[in-house]
Amino acid sequence: MDNAEKVILDAKAFMLTLPKSKACMKTKESYRRAAQKIFSVARSAEAFLTAAADTRKISTWRVRRAALVFGVRDLIERLLANQDKLQRSLHGVPGTDSRWSEWRTQVQGIAQWVPVLKVIRAAPSLPRAGRIPKKSKLQDIRGLPSDWRERVVRRLVKDRLAGLTTAVTGCRPEELLAEGAKEGVRLSIEGEHLIAHIVGAKTTDHAGQGWRRLRWPLTHPASLVQQLIAEVQAAGETVIAKIASKTAFTSSLRAAGKREWPLHRYPERKGRDITSYCFRHALASDMKNSGLSDADISAALGHRIDVTKETYGTRRIGSAGGGLAPASVKAEYAVKVKARSKRSVAFKAEKGLDKRAGGSQRGPRAKSL
């Protein structure tokens, strides 16, 4: 076996050991752009990692490393495919043909990039010293008054229907975009129920719900649900909640939060932002207090695996009685129940966080601003 053949076989064997990417097309495109940006300023694995580590945010580092892994892996896969195609076309062709030189260039590229991918995948995380503490939307809503959602929606100047829909359904901002085949979130009244039909975002062949339908009875006590019912009834037919720009919508929500809690009056609010994901966390918290099953909560959030809902909300900050939680949920796919490890169950039971282990579900009420 000559050296070129060994390089190819070793590279193919290594690529087979890599886990299949579950990222959606939109995430892959963002990874591709981020990787190209780093490739443009660096030429070696160490230089790539130095550029990626030029941040104090652990989340930024992880995204950049994932982008590098995706970019280099994509490059190696293309080199392997190109050399396979060239090799088949060169069967029986004399070694003096110029296409053999092109094939050897592809093999040299494979030999160069496989070690780079191995180094990037094995790279250690950022050192803890100097890191900016991780910030989440769950932190942004802790300590807010129980009626914070109503107060933010009331302060909206633009995109009020979209903001109201986000507060009630917990939909992602991408799911409100009216572009291509997507129309936004469809709201209607069927019989004695308000129905929100959401076409999912962040979907792949193995993850995410292509669509989901959430139902609230017309007698639902929550004021925001009643406001949404009134919007649909006033139109007399189906209403589409939509936005033209995710960035503009997020800015509108942030501005509404700042109008409600000006920093000069509430300095403890500094650094907090109200966005769509704050509403999403709040609805997840309400659903955890409402008695909905884990599978229904995951489906309502647009997920296909039940444990993913654990990243959203906590019972402690949810409204008593379920708040804005829907009465029922339907989705395109059945939600898979993923077994938890014994260590995870034991930890949650010890902290009083696991419903299955009989832990405490309630915490102190949030202070009012």
Q: What is the CATH number of the domain that holds 282?
A: 1.10.443
pLDDT higher at 136 or 198: 198
Which residues partner with 211 through β-bridges? Answer: 199
Residue 175 has pLDDT above 70, yes or no: yes
Phi-psi region of 316 (alpha: psi -120 to 50; beta: other; left: phi over 0): alpha
pLDDT confidence of 356, banded at 50, 70, 90? very low
pLDDT confidence of 270, banded at 50, 70, 90? confident
- Confidence at residue 311, expressed as pLDDT on a 0 to 100 scale: 80
Question: How would you write the chain as a 3-class SS string?
Answer: CCHHHHHHHHHHHHHHHCCCCCCCHHHHHHHHHHHHHHHCCCCCHHHHHHHHCCCCCHHHHHHHHHHHHHHHHHHHHHHHHHHHHHHHHCCCCCCCCHHHHHHHHHHHHHHHHHHHHHHHHCCCCCCCCCCCCCCCHHHHHCCCCCCHHHHHHHHCCCCHHHHHHHHHHCCCHHHHECCCCCCCEEEEEECCEEEEEEECCCCCCCCCCCEEEEEEECCCCCHHHHHHHHHHHHHCCCEEECECCHHHHHHHHHHHHHHHCCCCCCHHHCCCCCCHHHHHHHHHHHHHHHCCCHHHHHHHCCCCEHHHHHHCCCHHHCCHHHCCCCCEEEECCCCECCCCCHHHHHHHHHHCCCCCCCCCCCCCCCCCC
Domain presence at residue 305: yes
- Confidence at residue 357, expressed as pLDDT on a 0 to 100 scale: 39
Question: Of 60, 88, 121, which residue constitutes the final position of a domain?
Answer: 121
Q: Both 270 and 222 in a single domain?
A: yes
- Confidence at residue 202, expressed as pLDDT on a 0 to 100 scale: 86
Q: Both 146 and 193 in a single domain?
A: yes
What does pTM read for this prediction? 0.69
Q: Both 141 and 117 in a single domain?
A: no
pLDDT higher at 268 or 85: 85
Q: Both 287 and 155 in a single domain?
A: yes
Q: What percentage of residues in the chain have a pLDDT greater than 70?
A: 89
- 111-122 pLDDT, tens digit per residue, is 999 999 999 999
Of the candidate ranges 32-41, 138-147, 309-318, 343-352, the one whose mean pLDDT is the lowest: 343-352
Domain presence at residue 366: no
- Confidence at residue 128, expressed as pLDDT on a 0 to 100 scale: 83
CA distance 303 to 334: 10
Range of the domain at 10: 3-121
Q: Both 18 and 108 in a single domain?
A: yes
Q: Both 74 and 153 in a single domain?
A: no
Domain presence at residue 116: yes
Which residues partner with 329 through β-bridges? Answer: 214
Q: Both 171 and 296 in a single domain?
A: yes
Q: Both 87 and 149 in a single domain?
A: no
- 5-44 pLDDT, tens digit per residue, is 999 999 999 999 999 887 888 888 999 999 999 988 888 8
Q: What is the mean pLDDT of residues 313-329?
A: 82
Q: Both 212 and 117 in a single domain?
A: no
Residue 239 has pLDDT above 70, yes or no: yes
- Confidence at residue 343, expressed as pLDDT on a 0 to 100 scale: 46
Structural domain total, the chain: 2
Domain presence at residue 247: yes
Question: Of 97, 121, 145, which residue constitutes the final position of a domain?
Answer: 121
- Confidence at residue 361, expressed as pLDDT on a 0 to 100 scale: 36
Question: Of 121, 145, 180, which residue constitutes the final position of a domain?
Answer: 121
Q: Both 207 and 330 in a single domain?
A: yes
Q: Both 44 and 189 in a single domain?
A: no
Residue 191 has pLDDT above 70, yes or no: yes
Q: Both 73 and 176 in a single domain?
A: no
CA distance 34 to 120: 15
Of the candidate ranges 19-23, 189-193, 319-323, the one whose mean pLDDT is the lowest: 319-323
- Confidence at residue 109, expressed as pLDDT on a 0 to 100 scale: 94
- Confidence at residue 219, expressed as pLDDT on a 0 to 100 scale: 96
pLDDT confidence of 341, banded at 50, 70, 90? very low
Residue 346 has pLDDT above 80, yes or no: no
- Confidence at residue 43, expressed as pLDDT on a 0 to 100 scale: 81
Q: What percentage of residues in the chain have a pLDDT greater than 90?
A: 56
Q: Which tokens go with 64?
A: 């950049």
- Confidence at residue 70, expressed as pLDDT on a 0 to 100 scale: 94
Domain presence at residue 83: yes
- Of 293, 343, 283, nearest to 314 by C-alpha is 283
- Confidence at residue 360, expressed as pLDDT on a 0 to 100 scale: 34
pLDDT higher at 200 or 21: 200
Domain presence at residue 100: yes
CA distance 210 to 216: 21
Q: What is the mean pLDDT of the chain?
A: 86
Domain presence at residue 203: yes
Domain presence at residue 309: yes
